[in-house]
Amino acid sequence: MTEVRLPKPGDAITEAEVTEFFVDNGASVSEGDRLYSIATDKAEMDIEAPSSGTVSWKVEEGGTYQVGTAVAVIS
């Protein structure tokens, strides 16, 4: 089981909006696939899956979360 946390895209960034899920809840993902995207006031970026397995989302698309928040579990 791999816990996926919201990354810190920059030194002064403390939170980011989860703008889009590329994988549905309960769907399979392969390591390196695009998993979700985030946006801050300065940048937008796609986050890749750190491992392969089944995705279980812990946050909502469109929500703003603190850096380090657990956004999903891949099992």
Query: Euclidean distance between the first and final Cα of the chain, in Å?
Result: 4
- Does residue 51 register a pLDDT over 90? yes
- Does residue 31 register a pLDDT over 90? yes
- Does residue 8 register a pLDDT over 90? no
Q: Can you tell me the mean pLDDT for 64-70?
A: 96
pLDDT, residue 43, reads 85
pLDDT, residue 9, reads 79
CA atoms within 13 A on the CB side of 51: 13
* 49 Rama class: left (phi>0) / alpha (psi -120 to 50) / beta: beta
* Nearest to 17, CA basis, from 60, 58, 65, 56: 65
Q: How many other C-beta atoms can be found within 10 angstroms of the C-beta atom of residue 60? A: 10
All domains of the chain in start order, with CATH: 2-74 (2.40.50.100)
**32 confidence band (pLDDT: 50, 70, 90):** very high
